[in-house]
Amino acid sequence: MKLQLALDLVNIPQAIEVVKEVQEHIDIVEIGTPVVINEGLRAVKEVKEAFPALTVLADLKVMDAGGYEVMKASEAGAGIVTVLGATDDATITGAVEEAKKHGTQILVDMINVKDLEQRAKEVDALGVDYICVHTGYDLQAAGENPFEQLQTIKRVVKNAKTAVAGGIKLATLSEVVQSQPDLVIVGGGITGAEDKNAVAGEMKKLVKQSALV
C-alpha cells in the first residue's frame, strides 16, 4: 500500500516546500488539477527535478486526446497520469498505449461515474494500472466519503490496483486501510496540518501496518 500526497492549492515553490517537509513518508506526489491549470506541466517537471526519487502524478483528468496528453505529461516527468472513467473507452485505450511507450502508469479516476460497479469492470479490462474512487470537494462538503465506493470496486476489479481519494484524514485513515486499497491519496489531511511531517509519518505508519495484515 502506497501513500500519495495531493497538492491542489499551491504554486510551484510552495509545492516544493511542502514536499520537502514530508518526502520521507510519501511514495507519490500529485500535482493536482488546479496546479496544472495555474502552472502548466512545468509544475510536474520542476517537482520531479527537485525530488527524483519520488513518483510524480499529473492529475490531468484526461477526457479526450488520451494519447497526446499522456505523451506530454510523460515528457514532463510524470510517472502516473489520470484519465476520467467517465470518458469513452477509446480515450482510455489511447492513454494506456501511449503510457506503455514511456513506462508511465494510468490511473482512472471514477469521480461522478454513475454505475460504478459496471464501469469499474469495463475499465479494468482496458489495461489501466489503477482504478480510483474519488469523492470530489463539492460532494465532500455535502458529507459524502469514498469508503463505500472503495468496497464496491474492490469486489469487481481483478487486474488493476485500487486507489481511494477524497477527504481522507488521520482520524479516518484506519477505516480506509481496512479495505486494503493499493494507494491512499491524501490532500488537506496532510497539507492542512500544523505539523505536516508528523501527520504524514503517522499516516505512513498506518499504511505500513495494514499492509502487513
pLDDT score recorded for residue 83: 98
Model pLDDT, residue 135: 79
Give the pLDDT confidence score for residue 210 in this predicted structure.
76
> What is the rounded CA–CA span in Å between residue 114 and residue 135?
13
Looking at CATH, the fold of the domain delimited by 2-212 is given as TIM Barrel (3.20.20)
Backbone angles phi, psi at 52, to 5 degrees: -60, -25
The residues spanned by each domain of the chain are 2-212
- Give the residues of the chain that fall short of pLDDT 50: none
Bridge-based pairing state of the strands 161-165 and 183-186: parallel
Find, among 29, 7, 10, 107, the residue nearest to 62 by Cα. Answer: 107
Listed in sequence order, the residues at least 6 apart from 205 whose beta carbon sits closer than 8 Å to its beta carbon are none
Q: Where are the alpha helices (DSSP H) in the chain?
A: 12-22, 33-39, 42-50, 66-75, 89-102, 116-124, 137-141, 147-156, 170-177, 188-191, 196-212
pLDDT recorded at residue 209: 87
Residues 6+ apart with CB under 8 A from 70: 62, 81, 83, 94, 95, 98, 99, 102, 104, 106
